[in-house]
Amino acid sequence: MLPPRPFVAVLPDYLPGAASLVEQLDRRVLVVLRDGRNLVGVMRSFDQFSNMVLEDTYERHVVDGKYGDLPLGLYLVRGDAVVLLGEVEAEREGKSLEKVTTEEILELLQGSGEAGAKLEWDFE
């Protein structure tokens, strides 16, 4: 009789659908939403619909080569609102943009007219 072989989990090279998010668990990610917001946080959980829980989440705003983060905390993102998701590398973050304080980015947003601005579609 042969001895039992140990169980070894082997993941395929490609995981279809929401299962591909398993590689981003416990990593800092940038999520671009359909309404144009950019969220940066640590992905803690997801489900089969790509709904995800982000911890230590910030809403990132970029204005004139500067960026600032507005703290949100624990955040639940609905999967159908996600346009783009990618990992944020700590050592490369902020190399091409200058980081400013929350107050400074709010002033820049007000000056540029982006704060509270609504996207208006002109189909004519």
pLDDT tens, position by position, 19-49: 788 889 999 999 999 999 999 999 999 998 9
Rounded CA-CA distance 77/39 in Å is 9
CB neighbours of residue 47 within 10 Å: 11
Please identify, in words, the CATH class of the domain defined by 23-89+97-112: mainly beta
Q: Which of residues 6 and 123 earns the better pLDDT score?
A: 6
Cα-based distances in Å from 22 to 16, 48, 75, 86: 11, 11, 18, 13
pLDDT tens, position by position, 66-82: 889 999 999 999 999 99
The tokens describing 71, both together, are 């703290």
- Sorted by where each begins, the domain ranges of the chain are 23-89+97-112
Q: Which of residues 27 and 16 earns the better pLDDT score?
A: 27
Rounded CA-CA distance 66/47 in Å is 34
pLDDT of amino acid 45 = 94
